[in-house]
Every structure is written in C-alpha cells, then in structure tokens.
Structure 1
Amino acid sequence: MKTWFLLFLFVITNLVAQTGKADPAKLLEYYENQHYAEAAQYLQSMYPDDTRDIKVLNQIAYCNLMAGKLTEAEKNYIKANAIQPDNPAILFSLAHISSKRGNPVKAKSYLQQIIRLDSLNFSAYKQLAVYEDAPEIKLKYLRKANALHSSDPDVAYDLAMAYKDLKQYQQAYEVLKTAIASDTENFTLQQAQLPLSNLLGKYQEVIDTGKQLMENHTDVNVMNEMGQAYFYLKDYQKCIMIYKTLEDLGIRNEGTLYYMALSYRELKEYDHAAIYAQKTIDEAVSDHITLYYTALAGIYESKSQFNDALEAYKRGLTFSIHNTIYYRLGLLYDLNLKQPKNAATYYKLYLKSKPDQEKEKEQITYAKERIALLAGINK
C-alpha cells in the first residue's frame, strides 16, 4: 500500500509540475479518501474547459469514472482521443465506459481500433470475446487470446466451454490442461476438465483429480463425475456409494439414478436394480426414456420376470420407435415366452427399421435365420 501511495504521489506531482496549478497534497487527500467526484471538480476548477493537455484530460476522466459519472468521464476521454487518437489506454477506457452504459457495439468498435493498432493485444481480444454473441466470431477471438496467453484462466475456461459446445472435447481438454499446468491449484479449471476427461475415457484421471478437489471442497458436480468414472472402471460399489450419498442429500437426476440401476444390475442385485430403473423412468424428462425402459426390461429378463420385461419393452415403444427394442422383443418371444409367431413379427419389424448394417451385422444375420426357422414352426 505504501508503494502505491508513493507511486500515485509521483503521478500527481508530475501532473502539477507540468501545469503548475493543482495542489498535490490536496489531490492526494481526495484519492486517499476515495473522494473522486470532489477530485474531478477540483481539477476542472484548475484548468479551462478547452484544455488540450492529455494528462489533465485523462486525470479528470479517470476521477469521473471512479465516481460513477460515466457521461462526464466519456466526454473527457473523447476529448483526449480526438487529440491523441491512437492511444490504446484511452480506447480501453472508452470501451469500458460503453460497456458499463450497456452499449457493447460501441465497446467493440473501440476494441477493434486497438486490434488495428496492435494485432497482438491480448486484453483487446479477451474483451472482444466477452462482448461477441456470434459463436464463430467469439471462438475466433478466444482462440487468438489463448494463443497469446495460454495460461489466462478466464480465456482458457471460456474457450474450453466453446469447444465443448462444438463437441470438440480433445481441444477443450488440451486448452484446460495447458492453463492448469500454469496454475495447479486452480480448482475451477480442474473441475471444468472433469466432464471432458470422462467423455475422453480418462476415468482414472477423473478419480484422482476428483479426490483432490473433494479435499478442498465437497461439490456435487465433482461427485457426479466421479460416480460415472467409477462405473466405467467397473467399480460399481463405489459408483453406488457416491450416488447414494447424493440421493440422501436430496440430489438426484435421471443420470445418477440410471447409473445406480446399471451398477446394481452388474452386481446382480436385481431387486435394487429394478427399483432404480423405475426411479430413473419416473425422473426422466429427456428423450432417453426409451433407453431407460430398455434397461428396466433387461433387468426383468435377468430376474426371469418375462411378462414384466414384455410390458417394459412395449412401454418404451410408446415413447419412440427403437430397433433395439424390436430385436429384444423378438428374442423375448422366441426364447423365453415361446411364442414363435410374435417372435417372427418383431424380428421382421427389427429388419424393417433399417438397423446399422455394420454395427449390427450379427443381430441382422440372427434375425433372418430365426425368421426362416420360425416360418417352418408356424406352418
């Protein structure tokens, strides 16, 4: 603080030395007590309205800005800009005032002037990205700012989120990784990286980072990502433990319930699996509800509750047509319910639903073979 006062005293003394009018002690008192409006009035009383002294105009503008008198501040910065139009500091101040007055278009115009003067000005690109609404232009500004200063956490975060929205997960991950390397205790960046790590299959990394974050602060989003990572690492007990903790806290959604249902199923705890599959369906508010009914039906099949499985599959079809359900119904009627006519019907529906010829090659071949065999049985 002492250093700041000495520096400020030097600035004021320098101003007075050039103009020979203002009292440095009086100005310093205004600043120490943050009486910026009074400081502005005092400076304006010392110098004529038509002064062309850049230092004086900037000082008056700054005092008005700090006092919240944006109109007066802008007026003096515009005067200074007319005298010295290529001064980035003045242009930044004008952009800031325009932003505070709710005029981002004007703010962007000042920042673009700075870019034309200095194509490597990191701060200008960073601020332009904040004001830009068009995603592709915003991404361009963020990429430029990140290239100039890859360790800046705000730019790294915003750029990573922009890449994530474009489903460019590896690029988003790398941007955050670079920024984190410069600030290994930036928990915001580490937390932002967790879902990307899960999407990229870096499950052990999610667990290791998640544990470190949890030592600092218990966060439900971190727990959610760790739960998913434990599931994919096949540590189903820990997956259930984390999501059960969230559920006990009154925090649950279709995703957490779905992973619990699948984890119980993998542990062959079918009663619990069925309960959580049903909870998932009850909670569902997305287009994935057909998938959840399919999971529930599969659990019922594992418990040899074939009629319940049949009902679940058919309820899933009421939400959307899905070739997997047609195939599963064909198998259910064929192998468990011993109803060859119905089995053949659903195998045919499966083939008519245009399944992926490469990914579902085995299922397609099997369905065709079963249709041929069942045709003989049905005669």
Structure 2
Amino acid sequence: MKLGICLCIILLGFKNANAQSAKIDTEKLLEYYETQRYAEAATYLQGIYPGDTQDIKALSQIAYCNMMAGKLTEAEKNYQKINTIQPNSLPTLFSLANINSRRGNASQAKTYLQQIIQLDSLNFSAYKQLATYAETPEAKLSYLKKANTLNTTDPDVAYDLSLTYSGLKQYQSAYDVLKTAIAADTENFTLQQALLPVANQLTQYQEVIETGEKLLKNHADVNVMNDIGQAYFYVKEYQKCINIYKMLENMGVQNEGTLYFMALSYRELKDYNNAVVYAQKTIDEAISDHTPFYYAALAGIYEAKNQYNDALTAYKRGLTFGTSTMIYYRLGLLYDLHLKQPKSAATYYQMYLKNNPDQEKEKEQIVYAKGRISDLKQ
C-alpha cells in the first residue's frame, strides 16, 4: 500500500515537471516500479526525455532506475550531471557514494561522504558509512563515536563501536555503549552476545552467566558457550565450566582457551589425572605466546600431585618458549621448598628479579624472593 502511494507521488511529480511529461504513460511506469523492472523503466524514461535534458526530476528518476537495475556506470553519469546542475544536494551525494561503494571505489565514496558532513555536520548516516572506510582504528572510533552521539540506540553503530573500543582495550566504554543500545531493544540477541566478552573483561561474571544462559535457550552458539564457560570458571563453578567446554570438545570446536580452562577446573576439583590430560591437550592445540603459561599450569598440577621432578621438567620446558617471571619464581620455590637445592633456588629467585616483575601486582613475591636470596646465601 505504502509503495503504491509513494510511486503515485513520484509519477505525479513527473506529470507536473514540464510539458513533455504529458507523453508519460503513468500506468506503464507504475507497473515497471511495482514489478521492480527498473532497467525497462530507465529505458522507457530515456526514450521520452532528450539526452541533454536539464530536468532534475527526470534525471533523478532515470539515475535511480539505473542504479536499482545495477547499471552503475549509467547511474553515476546521471547523478554527476545532477550534481553539476544542482551542487551540494545531499541525496545526490549519498547516491554517488553508494554507487562508488558498490563499485569498490572506496576513496571516491569516502570523498562524497566527507562532502556531506561538510554540508551537514550532524548527518548520522554519513558518519556511520565513513566508519567503514577508516584506515586506522582511531579514525574508525572517531566516526563511530560521532554517529553514536547522534543516535545512541542504533544497533549497528553500537555493535561496531563496541568492537572498536574492545580492540583498543577500552572495555568500560564498549560495555556502556552496548548497555544503552540494549536498553532500547531488549530482545536484540546480537547486542547481548556482543556484551558477553566485554562483561567478562570487566569481571561482570554473573551478568555473563545470566545473559548467556538466556541466549543459549534461543540458540546454542559456540561463542556464547565460550564466554559463559569462562564466567563459570571465575565464579568457581568448575564443573559447569567443564560441562559446557566438554560440549564444545564433542562438537570439535575446542580451542587452546577452552582446554586451558578445563585443565584448571579439573585441577581445582583435584581431579589431577584429567587436569594433566587437558593441560597437555592445551599445549598440543596451539603453541603460542601463552605456551609458557600452559606449561606453568601443567607444572603446578604436577606439584599438587607431589611429582616434583615432572614439575621441574614442565617449568623448564615452558621457558624454552620464552622468558616468564612467573616460571622463574615458581622454579625458585620448587628448588627451595621441595627439592632442597638452595643454590639453584637462589639462582632462579635472582632471575625472577632481573626480569622486571610487576612492582605493584607482585609486591609480595618480590619481597619474598629478596628475603630468600639473603637467607640462602648465609
């Protein structure tokens, strides 16, 4: 109904455009529009109006029909002609930006969008589209922030802005943007899913669990399962963490992170045999920058089982993938308290201190290591 009304308005505009419009068969043109035969509509209009016409309404409709028919070169020529006759028309600039975007000419599309914001500094759509052409995360953030300021509830902008904030590790800002958009659309599952990893970063674990469990009732998404598994671990629901990651493993979509949390969960439940199995699976899954931490986790499990030589081997294996202050410190403790080798203990405590441990987060360990070095040398 609305389409018919709109098309009638367009056709009436043609009727009143100039004397030549009397030749237009409005019923035929309306049929072309309603059946989306835009190429035929364009051909029909071009047959009525001369090629050198300066009639803005006629040119606009011919350009639009060509664009809808996928005849982008013809559409661009018509819109450029309109832009010459009537410069700084926002609809024309948007159409030119759209055509260049579809043709892969990002630079030209961006140029037209920038012209739009020079004419209208509060144009939400222009900022939203400019974000897709940003060359740096900072530039993308700037455009998305402006668009979000103009419309805080637009779900697409909120989603993209939250991802950009997260990429820059600005998790609180990402969280706030998503919460605002979700408040305006409480059934938007895409936004709720985007919230989960951000909430995990902010230690909002109970919110992750509550939201994640609702999302899983709608669809068993592996990303939701991954996020909710982490939250279960941090609230010490270790068996639930294992259960949900077991589901991922059975689906063949496990990764080093899920296996790592399973190993730690088994360790916390004192199921050391399974803890060892999953620590080794973690290592096998991916050798990465985190590998030293995985070996440290394996070594810690061996320590809990009083298998100190195995723990020593695992710690030293971890160091072959990179230096780790945590491993140096743990080796110092292992040699000091369990293997009773004071010289080696002092050596690893010293290596720990020489590798610049975090002065705030590891204050107690630093004091302890310094004290033990002094004691062991006596």
TM tier, smaller: over 0.9
8 Å contact kept, 1:327–1:350: yes
Shift of 1:368: 3.3
**Number of corresponding residues:** 375
CA separation in 2, counterparts of 1:93 and 1:368?
A: 69
CA separation in 2, counterparts of 1:357 and 1:25?
A: 80
CA separation in 2, counterparts of 1:233 and 1:151?
A: 32
CA separation in 2, counterparts of 1:102 and 1:90?
A: 18
What's 1:316 paired with?
Answer: 318
CA separation in 2, counterparts of 1:354 and 1:10?
A: 73
Shift of 1:218: 0.6
Q: Which deviates more, 341-350 or 224-233?
A: 341-350
CA separation in 2, counterparts of 1:296 and 1:68?
A: 59
When residues 359 and 76 of structure 1 are mapped into structure 2, their CA distance, relative to the original with a 3 A threshold, is closer
8 Å contact kept, 2:7–2:33: no
What's 2:377 paired with?
Answer: 375
What's 1:281 paired with?
Answer: 283
- Pick from 338, 345, 348 the counterpart of residue 346 of structure 1: 348
CA separation in 1, counterparts of 2:351 and 2:5?
A: 84
TM-score w.r.t. the length of structure 1 is 0.95
- Pick from 224, 231, 237 the counterpart of residue 235 of structure 1: 237
What's 1:135 paired with?
Answer: 137
Letter in 1 for 2:11: I
Shift of 1:197: 0.2
Q: Deviations over 1:206-235 (max 9, x none)?
A: 001101111111101000000000000011
Q: Which deviates more, 291-300 or 316-325?
A: 316-325
What's 1:102 paired with?
Answer: 104
CA separation in 2, counterparts of 1:233 and 1:182?
A: 29
Runs of 4+ in 1 over 4 A off after TM superposition: none
Shift of 1:299: 0.7
- Pick from 254, 269, 277 the counterpart of residue 271 of structure 2: 269
8 Å contact kept, 2:63–2:76: yes
When residues 94 and 350 of structure 1 are mapped into structure 2, their CA distance, relative to the original with a 3 A threshold, is closer
When residues 368 and 142 of structure 1 are mapped into structure 2, their CA distance, relative to the original with a 3 A threshold, is closer
8 Å contact kept, 2:295–2:314: yes
8 Å contact kept, 1:61–1:77: yes
Q: Which deviates more, 22-31 or 187-196?
A: 22-31
When residues 30 and 274 of structure 1 are mapped into structure 2, their CA distance, relative to the original with a 3 A threshold, is same
Structure 1 residue 9 corresponds to structure 2 residue 43: no
Q: 3-state DSSP class of the match of 1:160?
A: helix
Shift of 1:115: 1.2
When residues 348 and 117 of structure 1 are mapped into structure 2, their CA distance, relative to the original with a 3 A threshold, is closer
- Equivalent runs, 1:254-265 vs 2, <5 Å: 254-265=256-267
* Structure 2 unmatched ranges of 5 or more: none
Shift of 1:134: 2.9
Q: 3-state DSSP class of the match of 2:254?
A: coil
Q: Which deviates more, 367-376 or 271-280?
A: 367-376
Shift of 1:192: 0.8
Shift of 1:36: 1.5
CA separation in 1, counterparts of 2:212 and 2:165?
A: 22
When residues 7 and 310 of structure 1 are mapped into structure 2, their CA distance, relative to the original with a 3 A threshold, is same
When residues 359 and 47 of structure 1 are mapped into structure 2, their CA distance, relative to the original with a 3 A threshold, is closer
CA separation in 2, counterparts of 1:31 and 1:102?
A: 27
CA separation in 1, counterparts of 2:374 and 2:101?
A: 72
* Structure 1 unmatched ranges of 5 or more: none
Shift of 1:318: 1.2
CA separation in 1, counterparts of 2:363 and 2:312?
A: 25
8 Å contact kept, 1:16–1:23: no
Q: 3-state DSSP class of the match of 1:20?
A: helix
Q: Deviations over 1:252-294 (max 9, x none)?
A: 1111111111111111111111111111111123101111111
Q: Which deviates more, 303-312 or 325-334?
A: 325-334
8 Å contact kept, 2:66–2:74: yes
When residues 115 and 270 of structure 1 are mapped into structure 2, their CA distance, relative to the original with a 3 A threshold, is same
CA separation in 2, counterparts of 1:303 and 1:266?
A: 12
What's 1:195 paired with?
Answer: 197
CA separation in 1, counterparts of 2:163 and 2:12?
A: 47
Q: Deviations over 1:111-156 (max 9, x none)?
A: 1222122111111111111222232222211111111111111111
Give the superposed CA RMSD: 1.5
What's 2:84 paired with?
Answer: 82
Shift of 1:373: 3.4
CA separation in 1, counterparts of 2:349 and 2:119?
A: 69
CA separation in 2, counterparts of 1:6 and 1:210?
A: 44
Q: 3-state DSSP class of the match of 2:23?
A: coil
CA separation in 2, counterparts of 1:32 and 1:352?
A: 76
- Equivalent runs, 1:150-165 vs 2, <5 Å: 150-165=152-167
8 Å contact kept, 1:293–1:312: yes
When residues 308 and 77 of structure 1 are mapped into structure 2, their CA distance, relative to the original with a 3 A threshold, is same
Structure 1 residue 24 corresponds to structure 2 residue 26: yes
TM-score w.r.t. the length of structure 2 is 0.95
- Pick from 25, 32, 35 the counterpart of residue 33 of structure 1: 35
